[in-house]
């Protein structure tokens, strides 16, 4: 099976944008689809700048069956990497229905469209959150799974939906990638993580404290049964993670059916170790205070990465020092993320709404049925 043209849903997001670069580097053609609710077109412009190639881009609401169908009519796709989805644990606890609807409906719409093609090849971004409160470390792909919030449950349910799908027809090839804690940024400093509002995750919080956007880090829990009492996680550089997707895509050519792999480094690093590495490598101060545990946190988790190494020929190569250095380069060059450069796009956009907004040259808009057709391709299609 030849895989050449890859659809990346959520391609403007943090992991999606880094994956686009690695795919282009490996000679794949990339088609990006995003709804831009939690991402910026600037990220894609930067990806094009780094890769030196245009990326045909669609604004698509994956919860709209019509729009997804239309996308697959417009583009011939050999495989899909599905990043698009809501990802904030806290928000999922407050708005479970929004999470179930968005993450599950979009996955099903995508699979339905894929099912009509010969390219039933999908890489899905799952998470180590599916290991729940497991205490047996390291976490292997065989470790029992469980979920403790709506976000985690959407990941688990999707894994199961995809398992059923793989069993339903031999044409399906599905790769589930369970990410540990992605951090870092591209070494160019052009793309990186740009969370909305106050970050929930540790690394963007540290770097926003260091750059002066936030006053101090609160370290959640210093009485865990870990070497320094703070939580231990398996931080993985986002470029390693992106390369893991390329490795999974390569494996799909062998018609593996259904497969699950952990993407981590296999090494635990504590919250305070990360803070100290950040200060030492970047020569900045990160003021912090020790506070109580955050509900729902486990003391420690890290991956067994041997399966990905053996089956995908992939392993992480970046160190904690690389992670903190690249994060800081991105943060100092873009202290306000992508926001300064361009306002974010509205939730679902069928045509440019703000006349001052200049879309990417090759951006196209999927139109719901019944809308005038000339809105659909307001810009010349990218060279292909």
Residues assigned a catalytic role: 151
- What Å distances lie between residue 138 and 63, 131, 323, 325, 382, CA to CA? 36, 11, 21, 27, 45
Rounded Cα gap, residues 226 and 32, in angstroms: 42
Residue 35 Cβ, how far from ligand UDP at the closest point, in Å? 23
Instruction: Choose one: 1-9, 49-57, 211-219, 306-314; the region binding ligand UDP (CB under 6 A).
Output: 211-219
Residue 297 Cβ, how far from ligand UDP at the closest point, in Å? 5
- What Å distances lie between residue 188 and 170, 204, 320, CA to CA? 42, 18, 17
User: Can residue 271 be called a binding residue for ligand UDP (CB under 6 A)?
Assistant: yes
Instruction: Choose one: 53-61, 94-102, 199-207, 326-334; the region binding ligand UDP (CB under 6 A).
Output: 199-207
* 202-210 vs 271-282: helix crossing angle, rounded to 10: 40
In the list 200, 226, 332, 342, the residue contacting ligand UDP (rule: CB under 6 A) is 200
3-state secondary structure 179-246: ECEEECCCCCCCCCCCCCCCCCCHHHHHHHHHCCCCCCEEEECCCCCCCCCCCEECEEEHHHHHHHHH
Binding positions for ligand UDP, 279-318, rule CB under 6 A: 294, 297
Residues 121-140: x/- map of binding to ligand UDP (CB under 6 A)?
Answer: --------------------
Residue 285 Cβ, how far from ligand UDP at the closest point, in Å? 16
Q: What share of the chain is helix, strand, coil (3-state, %, to 5)?
A: 35, 15, 45
Binding positions for ligand UDP, 155-194, rule CB under 6 A: 181
CB contact set of 272 (below 8 Å; sequence gap of 6+): 219, 228, 230
CB contact set of 91 (below 8 Å; sequence gap of 6+): 98, 99, 151
Nearer to ligand UDP, 253 or 294 (CB): 294
Binding positions for ligand UDP, 57-96, rule CB under 6 A: none
Size of the chain, expressed as the number of residues it contains: 384
Rounded Cα gap, residues 144 and 362, in angstroms: 45
Look up residue 6 and give its two tokens: 């890859």
Look up residue 291 and give its two tokens: 């506070």
Nearer to ligand UDP, 78 or 326 (CB): 326
User: Can residue 226 be called a binding residue for ligand UDP (CB under 6 A)?
Assistant: no
The answer to whether residues 44 and 57 touch, using CB atoms and an 8 Å cutoff, is yes
In the list 205, 278, 328, 365, the residue contacting ligand UDP (rule: CB under 6 A) is 205
User: Can residue 233 be called a binding residue for ligand UDP (CB under 6 A)?
Assistant: yes
User: Can residue 220 be called a binding residue for ligand UDP (CB under 6 A)?
Assistant: yes
Nearer to ligand UDP, 176 or 271 (CB): 271
Instruction: Choose one: 70-78, 164-172, 197-205, 358-366; the region binding ligand UDP (CB under 6 A).
Output: 197-205
In the list 37, 117, 134, 201, the residue contacting ligand UDP (rule: CB under 6 A) is 201
Nearer to ligand UDP, 233 or 360 (CB): 233
Number of amino acids touching ligand UDP (CB under 6 A): 15
The DSSP call for residue 303 is B
Interacting residues with ligand UDP (CB under 6 A): 181, 200-202, 205, 217-221, 231, 233, 271, 294, 297
């Amino acid at each position: 099976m030849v895989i050449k043209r890859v659809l990346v849903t959520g391609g403007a997001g943090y992991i999606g944008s880094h994956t686009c670069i690695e795919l282009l580097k490996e000679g794949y053609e990339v088609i990006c689809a995003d709804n831009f609710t939690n991402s910026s077109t600037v990220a894609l412009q930067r990806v094009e700048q780094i890769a030196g190639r245009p990326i045909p881009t669609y604004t698509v609401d994956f919860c709209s069956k019509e729009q997804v169908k239309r996308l697959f009519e417009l583009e011939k796709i050999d495989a899909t990497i599905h990043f698009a989805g809501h990802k904030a644990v806290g928000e999922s606890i407050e708005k479970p229905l929004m999470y179930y609807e968005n993450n599950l409906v979009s996955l099903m719409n995508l699979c339905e469209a894929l099912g009509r093609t010969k390219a039933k090849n999908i890489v899905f971004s799952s998470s180590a959150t599916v290991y729940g409160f497991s205490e047996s470390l390291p976490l292997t792909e065989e470790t029992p799974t469980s979920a403790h919030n709506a976000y985690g449950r959407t990941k688990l349910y999707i894994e199961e939906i995809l398992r059923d799908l793989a069993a339903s027809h031999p044409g399906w090839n599905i790769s589930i990638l369970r990410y540990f804690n992605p951090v870092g940024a591209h070494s160019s400093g052009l793309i990186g993580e740009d969370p909305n509002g106050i970050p929930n995750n540790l690394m963007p919080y540290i770097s926003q404290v260091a750059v002066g956007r936030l006053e101090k880090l609160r370290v959640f829990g210093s009485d865990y049964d870990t070497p320094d009492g703070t939580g231990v996680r398996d931080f993985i550089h986002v470029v390693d993670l992106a390369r893991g997707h390329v490795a999974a895509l390569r494996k799909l050519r062998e018609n593996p059916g259904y497969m699950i792999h952990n993407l981590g480094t296999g090494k635990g690093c504590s919250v305070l170790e990360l803070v100290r590495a950040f200060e030492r490598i970047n020569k900045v101060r990160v003021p912090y205070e020790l506070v109580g545990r955050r509900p729902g946190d486990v003391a420690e988790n890290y991956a067994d990465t041997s399966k990905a190494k053996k089956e995908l020929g992939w392993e992480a190569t970046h160190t904690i020092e690389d992670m903190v250095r690249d994060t800081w380069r991105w943060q100092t060059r873009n202290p306000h993320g992508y926001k300064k450069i361009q306002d974010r796009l509205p939730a679902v956009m069928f045509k440019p709404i703000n006349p001052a907004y200049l879309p990417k040259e090759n951006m196209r808009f999927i139109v719901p049925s019944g809308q005038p057709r000339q809105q659909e391709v307001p810009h010349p299609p990218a060279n292909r």
